[in-house]
Structure 1
Amino acid sequence: MKDHSGRVALITGAAGGIGSAVATALHRRGASVVLVDMHSTDLESLAAKLGNQRVAIAHADVTVREQLDAAVATATDTFGALDIVMANAGISSGATAATVRSVEDGIFERVIGVNLVGVWNTVRAALPHIVDSGGYVLLTSSTYAYLNGLANAPYAASKAAVEQLGRALRLELAGTGATAGVLYPGWVATPIVDVAFGGDEIATALVAKGFPALLRQPISADTLARGVVRGIERRAPRIQVPARWVPMSLLRGVINPVYDAILERDKDVRALTAQLDARPR
């Protein structure tokens, strides 16, 4: 992989999971990194792990634009530039699955606030500097941008919207010297996927019913990070990791209607969904 010495990367959601792994991978290749997340000792722990060299910390709630402005200022004040931004901070719909009927009030708004508005705030705060440097913005979406959001509608809706934001942004930046891309992680072994792999028995059963075994194998955050860094180096419009999801993405217009029709008629899926609907709120 390329040497990123002299480049400055800002990553939201950097305290753990995908954000921490990508920050570590970029730092190892010489980049200076700005770690952005809520107040947490995890940020300090990651900075210490990286040796506290070429590292800055910015505590921010991505739903508050002014705090993202301050985080970007930390990057430019500390390192003098901003070349890479990864709008990565995100949350799940909760520790248990729910349908649109059964989900608790406020969950949708909270997920959209972090996963979509947070991405918007990050991009808006960083974009002037990215254009000035001819840099690259990466928006973390998900395979849920094109999969059916059964039992996970708030999360799926937020990630589909992020995809559209990233696609529009790339075209709008054409000719400026800067560009953007969208990251589509599959299942990654972080706490956010626990609900689908044993954390909630109904969600686990739905995943087993809805996805072939090959697609149900989570990868490590470090494996994902290696793919992300390669995509950043190519200034890729789309980064799909693992690559086994690529055919489903490319053929979504054909696969999705057929798959939806099959699952709609599946008696087991109907029964599991009814169980979710019956859960007390």
Structure 2
Amino acid sequence: MARYHLTGRTVLVTGATGGIGAACAHALHARGANVVLLGRDTSSLSALTRRLGPERALPLTADVTDQASLDEAVARAVHRFGGLDVVFANAGTAPTCPATLATIDAALFEHIVDVNVLGTWRTLRAALPHVVARRGHVLVNASVYAYVNGAANAPYAASKAAVEQLVRALRVELGTRGATAGVLYPGWVETGMSRVAFGGDPLATRMREAAFPRPFARAIGPELVAARVVQGIERRAAALTVPRRWGPVGALRGILNPLVDRALARHARLQPLLRQLEDDGRCRTLAPAADGAALSEEDPAKWG
């Protein structure tokens, strides 16, 4: 397939002010694209637009849990730039602390699924007719958690597995329409959302260190993800894994996952931490923010 050049294309990014979203907005804009920036924080959207320049950047306040706001944002983007070529469904959320399925608050679990799964579906519902009309591309931010065991992070892992399946179906359904779709699988990335497992929560940090071999426990900067996103869109790639060391894990998941699950179920370091987590009883409520509220990918990164 011929290279899909981004110069002059219009790209809509949800969760645009978060670590990955903002880095991708900069990279796409630098490639010559018009960028439509969707998020909930008006001041952060305005600041990002000032950095990019208002000529090819359109900030729009929208919430992926509200279909009407997404429909309106897409309509405004089409009115401003004449159409929509690419949609990057990037908005996502996760708990601010780990929790098991036995102890997590039901409202928190359902909120994560609502944002990550239904929010992606709502975004596609609003944007897809315009992307298909322009024979464009859809990219959805999943995670390596789409296939990595989600112990103590089950709603996030389940939601990422779900959006992977949405995109697999969509890519086939678009087969004769000229449009394409792909999945982004980032590993650990230096964003506000992942900060909980890198010192933000001591128990979550210890569980990450116990469960993930060292090469897979390291975080990368969002700029590396953004570079791969640009390359992937230009290649209309079906799958983008970053960093690349996660690629064999995803490719061999059918073999590796049963072995990993068995090992983690008996893990001498991880199992006591999971019991401690349940005894502590944290993340059992949706609020307050310091103990259980969801942290969005839209939130600015607070790293180090």
- For Structure 1 versus Structure 2, the TM-score category normalised by the shorter chain is over 0.9
Counterpart of 1:133? 134
Task: State yes or no: 1:56 paired with 2:58.
Answer: yes
AA of the residue aligned to 1:42: S
Query: In 2, distance between residues paired with 1:264 and 1:66?
Result: 44
| Structure 2 residue 26 is matched with structure 1 residue 27 | no
Q: Given that residues 2 and 29 in structure 1 are in contact (C-alpha distance below 8 angstroms), is that contact kept between their aligned partners in structure 2?
A: no
Q: How do 1:1-281 residues align onto structure 2 when only pairs under 5 Å count?
A: 4-93=6-95, 95-280=96-281, 281=284
| Residue pair 1:15, 1:40 contacting (<8 A) in 2 also | no
CA distance in 1 between counterparts of 2:259 and 2:218 reads: 23
Q: TM-score, normalised by structure 2?
A: 0.90
Q: Counterpart amino acid of 2:224?
A: T
Is the contact made by 1:60 and 1:67 (CA closer than 8 Å) also made in structure 2?
Answer: yes
| Aligned-partner Cα distance in 2 for 1:177–1:3 | 15
**Aligned residue identity for 1:197:** F
CA distance in 1, matches of 2:86, 2:41: 22
**1:4: Cα distance to partner?**
2.1
Contact 2:5–2:234 (8 Å) recurs in 1: no
Instruction: Output one character per residue of 1:111-163: Cα deviation in whole Å (capped at 9) or x when no partner.
Output: 01111111000001111111100000001100000000000001111101000
Kindly tell me the number of residue pairs found equivalent between the two proteins: 280
Shift of 1:2: 7.6
Q: 1:61, 1:67 within 8 Å by CA — same for their partners in 2? A: yes
Q: Retained in 2: the 8 A contact 1:37–1:58?
A: yes
Runs (5+) with no aligned partner, structure 1: none
Q: Could you tell me whether the CA contact under 8 Å between 1:184 and 1:239 is conserved in 2? A: yes
Query: Aligned-pair distance for 1:35?
Result: 0.2
Native 8 Å contact 2:4 2:233 kept in 1: no
Comparing 262-271 with 82-91, greater Cα deviation is found at 262-271
Unaligned runs of 5+ in 2: 285-304
Between the aligned partners of 2:6 and 2:159, the Cα distance in structure 1 is: 31
Please report how far the alpha carbon of residue 68 of structure 1 lies from its aligned counterpart in structure 2 after TM superposition. 0.8
Q: Conserved in 2, the CA contact under 8 Å of 1:16 and 1:42?
A: no
What is the distance in 1 between the residues matched to 2:233 and 2:170?
16
Which segment is superposed worse, 103-112 or 125-134? 103-112
TM-superposed deviation, 1:268: 2.1
Structure 1 residue 3 displacement after superposition:
5.2
Secondary structure at 2:59's aligned position in 1?
Answer: strand
Alignment partners' CA distance in 2, 1:266 and 1:219 = 26
Alignment root-mean-square deviation, CA: 1.2
- Secondary structure, counterpart of 2:106 in structure 1: coil
Taking only the aligned residue pairs, the percentage that are identical comes to 50
- Whole-angstrom distance in 2 between the partners of 1:150 and 1:40: 35
